[in-house]
Amino acid sequence: MRSLITIALMMFVAVGVEGQQHAPRDPMVQANATRKLTAHVYAIEDKDTTPGVPNIGFVVGTRAALVIDTGMGERNGRTVLAEVEKIAPGKALYLVTTHVHPEHDLGAGAFPGTTKMIRSEDQIKDIDEFGYQLADVFMKRSAVNAELLKGAKFRKADITFDKEYTLDLGGVTARILAMGPNHTRGDTAVFVPGDSVLFSGDIAMKGMPSFASPYSTVSHWLKSLDVLDALKPKIVVPSHGPIGDATYMANYRVYLTAIRDRAAALKKEGKSQDEAVKTITAEMQGRYPDTGRLAGAVRAAYAEAR
Each residue of 108-124: pLDDT tens digit? 999 999 999 999 999 99
Asked if the model's pLDDT at residue 23 lies above 60, the reply is no
Please tell me the predicted confidence (pLDDT) of residue 17: 45
pLDDT category of residue 10 using cuts at 50, 70 and 90? very low
**At residue 15, does pLDDT exceed 60?**
no
Cα separation, 194 vs 201, in Å, equals 19
Q: Over range 12-23, report the average pLDDT.
A: 45
For the ranges 10-14, 44-48, 154-158, 253-257, the lowest mean pLDDT is seen at 10-14
Look at residue 16 in the predicted model and tell me its pLDDT.
Answer: 47
**Pairwise pLDDT comparison (47 vs 86), residue with the higher score:** 86
Q: How confident is the model at residue 24 (pLDDT cuts 50, 70, 90)?
A: low
The pLDDT, as a whole number, for residue 106 is 98
Confidence tier at 298 by pLDDT (50, 70, 90):
very high
Q: What does the pLDDT read at residue 141?
A: 92
The C-alpha atoms of residue 113 and residue 273 are separated, in whole angstroms, by: 48
Q: What is the mean pLDDT of residues 239-250?
A: 97
Q: Is the pLDDT of residue 171 over 90?
A: yes
| Residue 288 confidence (pLDDT) | 84
Question: Higher model confidence: residue 48 or residue 62?
Answer: 62
Mean residue pLDDT of the chain comes to 92
Q: What percent of the chain has pLDDT over 90?
A: 88
* Spatial contact of 48 and 24, defined as CB atoms under 8 Å apart: yes
Give 150-166 pLDDT, tens digit per residue.
999 999 999 999 999 99
Q: Which of 4-18, 227-241, 270-284 has the lowest mean pLDDT?
A: 4-18
At residue 13, the pLDDT reads: 47
Residue 5, pLDDT score: 42
Taking 90 as the threshold, does the pLDDT of residue 7 lie above it? Answer: no
Cα(231)–Cα(285) distance, rounded to whole angstroms?
32
More confident residue, 198 or 46: 198
Task: Measure the CA–CA gap between 283 and 297, rounded to whole angstroms.
Answer: 14
Can you give the pTM of this predicted structure?
0.92
